[in-house]
Each structure stands twice: as structure tokens, then as C-alpha cells.
Structure 1
Amino acid sequence: MDHEEKLPRYRVLTGPDDATFCWRVSEMLDLGYQLHGSPSVTFNGDRVIVAQALVRPE
């Protein structure tokens, strides 16, 4: 079983809306994931928090 077979087919990434979050999403896209829907954005009183669902096709 290779690394890709161990990855879940569905993931939701969350975190502050910053470059680190964008890099995390980019890494998942490089692994073959595709964006699933639009990102969700909220404000926690201190900073903007974003969530993005991703799916990996079979």
C-alpha cells in the first residue's frame, strides 16, 4: 500500500486565513485532492478563520 492509498478521500482543513493555510491547501491539491465547494469564513473576534473541504477522486 503506497502513501496515496493511506490518505482519506475527504478532508476539511481549517485555520487562520494566512499564507500557512494557503500552503496547506496547496499541498493537498498537489497530492491529488480537489476543492469541494466554496471555503467557509468566519471571524472569531481576533482573526478570520477559514475552512475548506477537499476530496480525492478514486
Structure 2
Amino acid sequence: MLAYRLLTEDDTSAFCHKVTKALADGWQLYGDPTYAFDHTTGKMRCGQAVTKEVDATYSPDVKLGSL
């Protein structure tokens, strides 16, 4: 199964650490990162999609972060 996650975070080093950890855990970048202003919080937000081929059957109960 190809698992998909969209990682998001405020525009801080925490976002870079989140993406770096996903890459270290075997996830691969999917597409370009995104960057947008969140009017609710008044902060810039980053997003990056990642995918990973896993030996599992899809279920809505799958915890993608633990794959």
C-alpha cells in the first residue's frame, strides 16, 4: 500500500524537523512544499506531502505516523 501524509506546521524549525524525521523514517517527498498565511493565527504555515510504500492493508484506523 502507498501511504500518504500531509505534514503541516507553523513556519519555524519545527516544520523542518518534522519533515526531516519523516524522511529518516523512510517517507519520500511528494510534490512541492506549500506556504500560506493563516489568517486565524496570523502566522505563516508550511506543508509538505510525503508518501511511503508499506506492507499493510488500508484501514481508516491505521496510524500513518507510526508506519
TM norm. shorter chain > 0.5:
yes
The 2-side partners of 1:37 and 1:11 are apart by: 12
Q: Normalising by the residue count of structure 2, what TM-score does the alignment of the two structures yield?
A: 0.68
In the alignment, structure 1 residue 50 sits paired with structure 2 residue 46: yes
Aligned length: 51
Q: Structure 2, unaligned stretches of length 5 or more?
A: 55-67
Instruction: Output the TM-score relative to the length of structure 1.
Output: 0.77
Measured on the aligned residues, the alpha-carbon RMSD in Å equals 1.5
Runs of at least 5 residues in structure 1 that lack an aligned partner in the other structure? 1-7
| Bigger proportion of residues as strand | 2
Q: What residue in structure 2 maps to residue 4 of structure 1?
A: none
Runs of 4+ in structure 1 deviating by more than 2 angstroms, as ranges, are none
- Report the Cα distance in structure 2 between the residues aligned to 1:26 and 1:15, rounded to whole angstroms: 13
Q: Return the structure number with greater helix share.
A: 1
Of structures 1 and 2, the larger Rg is shown by 2
